[in-house]
Amino acid sequence: MVQHLKLYLIGLDPNHSTIWDTTYYSFVENNNYEDIIALPDGTFYGLATIKDDYWQQANIALLHLSATGIPISIQEYNLGGRDLARCLIPTNDGGMLFSASSYPNNDPTEVVQNLYKLDSAGETQWINNADYFIGAVISSLVQLADSTYIVAGSDYSAGPNYLQGFVAKLDTNGSVLWRRTYGGDRNEYLYDLIINNHNSTGKDGYVMCGRTESTDLGVLLGNANVYFLKTNCMGLLTEPIANYSYTNPEGNTIAFQNLSQYTYPDSIDGGHYLWDFGDGFNSNEQNPTHTYAQAGIYLAKLTAIVCQDTSIMYQSICIGTSAHPAPSFTHTLQNDTLVSFTNTSSNAQNAVFIWDFGDGSPPTQTITQQALQHSYTQAGEHQVTLSVIMCQDTTVYTQVVNTYAVGLAPIIPPSKGGQGGDYARCCLTLLMSK
């Protein structure tokens, strides 16, 4: 006799001991719950794939369940193919949203992803199965505080050969506001998504997990690695880089040209700019023009902000005067590898200081002459350079610093992929900090 899978639920107490279990036998073929949510009245909604022959036919069922898992009502959906339930979430208005995939001819590249929005009574408010969801599977849903949605999964947007991971933001009616894809030269799967830092506005970005088979992402051919992504609120892996230039068209007037990258001020959820001209005046224009009231040296600051990421650039601007800084510094060894530096530059008020410690580490920018420390990881001579930038001119001072012991660099174990294309699934249950 052929045995088929039945719908089965278990209720657990806080100690994970079984307090009830329920099996539902009424559907033929194979059946399984894909997701379940709890309601304030103690009942549940379960989303299930039912009547699945594992080839051409399956339907979706939304079951309203009692506090002990007994079906109170069942709503069945036939989408016209082998229809598979995916995920279910409660919505801010007391309703629900669920995703389901329909395979009209069992070809994964032609799968149609359906989103169903239901009201608190379980009645359909809208259905979205637009062209941008063909070839896609939505495996995770979240709703933000403004009632928009973030969805994640995998799709064939790069072509029929390989899956890519994707994340998209939808408006309150399920239309796409933006969509991003991720991946390499092989299959990428995204299985789960959470809002970073519990911030329901989405401003702290998103964390996703899945698996990757891409060799250009470091996976051995035929193997698979666990895949984690953290993006900003726009679904991007970039951070803003503030940058600007300026000209002096006449008198005390300065025209600023914004050269910042990865800020996207004209995009949905895009960033913005804050200017501080150094004389008490500010602007949020992209390319402002500013007239200074009197001559002097001013430290102009541009801040580029995207989501919760910030980048700052300073420049020293001369109005009706010139600058003649004299850079210098002293240094003191605190131990064999830790060195303290004291900036003793003169005529450098409102200057920008750039330190290069001569060991290949990224330069450090400061706008004060406060002392700072640097730790070296290799013994030897290091040519340390202090650059003073004022009014588009750079003056440089250099010293040789000797260190005498080698610090220990962190040991990073080699990365290994799972053998034989291990099938990695993950469920994110904790919100991760930056």
The residue extents of the domains of the chain are 7-231, 244-319, 329-402
Count of CB atoms within 10 A of residue 275's CB?
Answer: 21
Whether residue 296 contacts residue 316, with contact meaning beta carbons closer than 8 Å, is answered with no
Reported as a single tens digit per residue, the pLDDT across 303-346 is 999 999 999 999 999 999 999 999 999 999 999 899 999 999 99
Q: What is the pLDDT of residue 409?
A: 47
Pick the CATH number of 7-231 from 3.40.50.300, 3.40.50.1370, 3.40.640.10, 2.120.10.10: 2.120.10.10
At residue 1 the predicted structure's pLDDT band, cuts being 50, 70 and 90, is very low
> What's the pLDDT score for residue 420?
39
Which is nearest to 64 in space by CA: 56, 52, 72?
Answer: 72
For residues 166 and 190, the answer to whether their CB atoms sit within 8 Å is: yes
Confidence category of residue 96, pLDDT binned at 50, 70, 90: very high
CB neighbours of residue 82 within 10 Å: 22
Q: Can you identify the CATH homologous superfamily of domain 244-319? A: Immunoglobulins (2.60.40.10)
Distance CA 404, CA 429 (A): 47
| Reported pTM | 0.81
Structure tokens at 156: 């064939």
Average pLDDT over residues 38-46: 94
Of residues 131 and 250, more confidence is placed in 250
- Between the alpha carbon of residue 82 and those of residues 131, 145, 156, 215, 415, the distances in Å are 19, 34, 19, 32, 38
Please give the structure tokens belonging to residue 182.
Answer: 């991720």
Nearest one of 197, 125, 210 to 167, comparing CA atoms: 210
- 432: Cβ contacts below 8 Å, ≥ 6 apart: 194, 196, 197, 207, 230
Q: Which pLDDT band, with edges at 50, 70 and 90, does 275 fall under?
A: very high
At 56 the pLDDT is 84
Give the tens place of pLDDT for each residue, 49-93.
Answer: 999 988 889 999 999 999 999 999 999 999 988 999 999 999 999
pLDDT, greater one: 408 or 126: 126
pLDDT at 422: 37
Phi, psi of 132 (to 5 degrees): -70, -5
Helix, strand, coil shares of the chain as percentages rounded to 5?
Answer: 5, 50, 45
- Report, as an integer, the average pLDDT of 266-284: 96
Look at 74-88, 116-130, 407-421 and tell me which has the smallest mean pLDDT. 407-421
Between 131 and 112, the more confident residue is 112
Q: How far apart are CA 8 and CA 20, in angstroms?
A: 11
Same fold, 7-231 and 329-402: no
Q: 35, 65 in Cβ contact below 8 A?
A: no
Q: Assign 2 a pLDDT band (cuts: 50, 70, 90).
A: low
Q: Mean pLDDT throughout 165-180?
A: 94
- 198-254 pLDDT, tens digit per residue, is 999 999 999 999 999 988 878 888 899 999 999 999 999 999 999 999 999 999 999
Q: Of the given ranges (129-143, 166-180, 309-323), which has the lowest mean pLDDT?
A: 129-143
> Tens digit of pLDDT for each residue in 359-384?
999 999 999 999 999 999 999 999 99
pLDDT-based confidence at residue 428 (cuts at 50, 70, 90): low
- Retrieve residue 431's tokens: 């919100």
Of the chain, the percentage scoring pLDDT greater than 70 comes to: 92
Q: How confident is the model at residue 411 (pLDDT cuts 50, 70, 90)?
A: very low
So what CATH class is 329-402? mainly beta
Burial class (CB in 10 A: 0-12, 13-18, 19+), 174: buried
Laid out side by side, the sheet with 393-403 consists of 364-366, 352-356, 380-390, 393-403
Q: What is the pLDDT of residue 158?
A: 80
Of 245, 269, 275, the C-alpha closest to 257 is 245
Look-up of token digits 């949510």 = 37
- Identify the pLDDT of residue 87: 96
Query: Which of 245-254, 291-300, 309-318, 410-419 is least confident?
Result: 410-419
Question: Mean pLDDT across the stretch 247-268?
Answer: 95
Q: Indicate the Cα dihedral angle 275, 276, 279, 280, nearest 10°.
A: 100
If you average pLDDT over every residue of the chain, what do you get? 90
CA distance 237 to 111: 28
Residue carrying structure tokens 């911030």: 199
Q: How far is CA 157 from the centre of its chain?
A: 20
Instruction: Label residue 429 by pLDDT band (50, 70, 90).
Output: very low
pLDDT value at residue 427: 52
| CA atoms lying within 13 Å on the CB side of residue 228 | 7
Q: What is the pLDDT of residue 54?
A: 84
Q: Which of 226-240, 340-354, 413-427 has the lowest mean pLDDT?
A: 413-427
Between CA 90 and CA 68 the distance in angstroms is 20
CA–CA gap between residue 421 and residue 310 (Å, rounded) = 39
